[in-house]
Amino acid sequence: MDEVPKDILKSVFDKVNTEDTFSQRIGVKLLELLRGFARTTLPITVETTNIYQMAHGGAIFSVADQACEAAGNSYGEPAVALQQNIHFLSAGKPGDSLEATARVTHRSNRIGLIEFEVKNQEGLLMAIGQQVIYFRKGENGKR
């Protein structure tokens, strides 16, 4: 596999952390980005809990989705999600710090598969899942 230039990884890293306004609003941060791999974090606060004072499923989904977005785009080509599934395994609570890791496990000319997991600060597995991504052609129509 070809190496992705560091400037492309830096560009994706910076873009994810500054232009994804939804993730910024809820507190998701991209911590690490390598080719086909990303790690994100999200603190669970009262603003990201549900009616039972547990981590909202949307918050857990969002920290995973952000990791998938970064991992998928780490090749220097625009990648968008086609489908994502998640299995919630444990409940989070205010004060928890969630960490999601996402890894591209399959990549063809147009489609990729990302597997992810979300853990809390103690390493407890909170959620697992997969995301299918689509690699868009560049403006010149070439790949």
Q: What is the pLDDT of residues 77-119, one digit of tens each?
A: 999 999 999 999 999 999 999 999 999 999 999 999 999 999 9
- Which domains does the chain carry? 6-135 (3.10.129.10)
pLDDT one-digit tens code per residue, 62-77: 999 999 999 999 998 9
How far apart, in whole angstroms, are the C-alpha atoms of residue 101 and residue 35? Answer: 13
Nearest to 55, CA basis, from 20, 21, 18, 86: 86
**Structure confidence at residue 51 (pLDDT):** 96
Q: Which pLDDT score, from 0 to 100, does residue 116 have?
A: 98
* Reported pTM: 0.91
Which residues partner with 32 through β-bridges? 39
Confidence bin at 139 (pLDDT 50/70/90): very low
Contacts of residue 43, defined as CB under 8 A and 6 or more positions apart, other chains included, come to 27, 96, 97, 98
Average pLDDT, integer, range 115-124: 98
Residues 6+ positions from 86 with CB-CB distance below 8 Å = 57, 60, 61, 64, 127, 128, 129
The answer to whether the beta carbons of residues 79 and 134 sit under 8 Å apart is yes
pLDDT digits (tens, 9 = 90+) for 7-42: 889 888 898 889 988 999 999 999 999 999 999 999
